[in-house]
Structures are given as C-alpha cells and as structure tokens.
Amino acid sequence: MSYASTVLQDARTEIQTNKTFELRPTMSMVTNAALAYRDQAIRDLAKIKKATTQTTTVLYSSKTDYTVTSDAKSCTPTGTEGGTSSVDLTWVRRKVHPYVEYKVHAGNELDMQNAFTNSLYNAEASLWFGTGGIDAYIIAWLEANKSSVNAGTLGTFDTYADDTMTIANANRNIFYDIVQTEMQENNYNLKFQDIYNTAWNQTKNYYVNQGAGNSVNTAYQFNGFDFHPSNNVNASTTTYYTNGVHYIIPAGGIALVDWCENDATNITGKIVGSQEWGSMDSLFFPNIRLDYFKYETCVDSTARGGSAQDVRMTYEITANIAMAKQQTPTGTPIFKYGIV
C-alpha cells in the first residue's frame, strides 16, 4: 500500500512518461469550456469576492421591450426607462487531502519531494476530473440551468418532458447546421460552444472531413463552433439520447469564477505551531488559485517502510468556485440537444 512497492531494491529501473498511462486523468474539456470566455463574461474577477460571508452579486442590463407607435408627434410623449437587474452567485467548495511522510522515503526509491509531487498531481486530477469533482459539478450545473424553452423549428423540443431539443439520428450529418439555424431562431449568432460526450467525436470527425471534393459536402457547417468533448458527459446511460448529448452555449454565455480565501484574507504564509496557510496555482489550470492548509503530526509509518515516530504532512487543498451564466429574457443561454 502507498509507497511500499518502491522500497530500495538490488536492481531497479523506472517507467517513463507515466502521466500518459497510469497517471492519466479523465479526458474532459468541460472546465476548459467554462474558463474559455470568463474574462469577457464577468468583469473585475479579482474583486468579485473578499470574504466567505460576502454575498456576490452580479449586475447586468435587463431587456426592455419598447412600444412602437405611429401616432402624431407630441411635446409631452410618455417614455419608458430601460433597467438593470442582478443575480447572486452560488459558491461551492471542493477539497482533496494528500499527505507525505518523511521517514517512509529514507529507504525508498522515491524521495519525499518526488512522492509529494506524485500525490499532489493525483489529488488535483481527482479534484478536477474525478467523481464528485469540479468537472462533474459543472455538468450537473449545466443540466440544472438549461433553457426550458427553445424557439427552434428543425428539431422537436421537450418530447420527453426534459427540456431537450431532439434531433433525429438520420439528421446527425447536418447536426451543426440545424443547431446554428435554431440558435438564430433564438436570436443568437455564432460563435457557439458545444460540450458533448466523447463518442460523438467519431461522428463529428467523419462529417467535418466530407468537404467540397465529396459528393455530399457536410464540412461547411462546422465553422464557428468550439468543441469540448468529455468522458464525464455520458450519453450511453441516458434514456433517449444514446447517439449524442450536447450542451450548446453562445460564446461567453457561461463562466467559472474562483476566489482564493487565503489570499483574500491575507492569511497566506501564516504559520501557527504545526499549521500553515497558503495558496498555489492549479497544476491543471494555472489561472486558478487554490487554498491550501498544511499540518504536521506524528504517526507510526513502520508498515510503510518508515518508523514508529515519523512526521506526516497533510495538506487540505481547496477550490472555491461559482458558475455564472449570462442572463436572458428566457432565463438562460444554455440549450440541451439530444440525438435520438
């Protein structure tokens, strides 16, 4: 267990490029999609939150429908004023707890620094892409915040009472042409983000390569889409949409917002006894700052190749995030599509 397999041996070698194999994280670009346009979607990200007790309010200009008239001019017309509105963000916390022990690695092939680097890499992979991680949270948030209306006329909306636009499998070759047209019917123009189950790549890649030299050209429809496949978006377990699940979002429609509590409260670098507060850039998303809290304790690590009085350093690494969406007259710019 732990690093027992790498205690010093008479002969040894090491497998290289392990991150491509044993250590590879779940393939998912959902978080990438949520970060892609956040600077355009939310202003003053660095100022958005300063304390855990602070309610984070996002302001936006609201739509006003003005009455168009054809009556005579007047010196005293009755006017209508435009308006603004606001929405509060919901913050969530996701944590992982890697640790490293000093004496375990005195007689180990991996020194303590390399062992901790390995633990930290695996911990962050779980934080972002693992069960209960941030990636899974974003997918659940998309599902909970998808539009309950779709003015598109080329598919069939809400056939199964689940706020999804269904597209017949026979039309999968022109799926993106249909989506672009229907989004225009909802008053959105390119560019769009597409978050979908990875298996759809095979269909997409086939039709994107059917160009002008083919008897049927399907490549024309792919310009203006950002593609974000994910193994965490699972079409095979859905009741109806086994040929593909898609969340279509106008570029800038969603944003992942983060804040670093330790930095914001000026506690980074604070040491009290065996406890330390700090912050770090994410290994996977360097523009995200993570809190860490470290404490040291005495443990018996004999069973792991250490000793009866070893020092264990345990880290609590925390991501504080909120998902934001642009406000629309219908409430959300997130549209779900399913291939049936």
**Mean pLDDT, the chain, integer:** 87
Q: Is the pLDDT of residue 107 over 80?
A: no
Residue 45 is predicted with a pLDDT of 66
Predicted local confidence at residue 293, as pLDDT: 95
177, part of any domain: yes
To which residue do tokens 């978006």 refer?
233
Angle 153-158-163 (CA atoms, 0-180°, nearest 5)? 110
Provide the residue range defining the domain that includes 191: 154-251
- Has residue 225 been placed in a domain? yes
Closest CA to 337 of 107, 214, 158: 158
**How far is the C-alpha of 18 from the C-alpha of 29, rounded, in Å?**
21
Q: Among the residues of the chain, which ranges form H helices?
A: 30-36, 38-41, 112-129, 134-144, 175-185, 200-208, 261-264
Phi/psi at 127 (5° precision)? -60, -40
The answer to whether the pTM exceeds 0.85 is yes
Residue 18: pLDDT band by 50, 70, 90 thresholds? confident
**Residue 106 pLDDT:** 79
pLDDT tens-digit readout, 58-82: 777 777 788 888 888 889 888 888 8
Task: Count structural domains, the chain.
Answer: 1
* C-beta of residue 111 within 8 angstroms of C-beta of residue 86: no
Tell me, yes or no, whether 237 lies in a domain.
yes
Residue 92 has pLDDT above 90, yes or no: yes
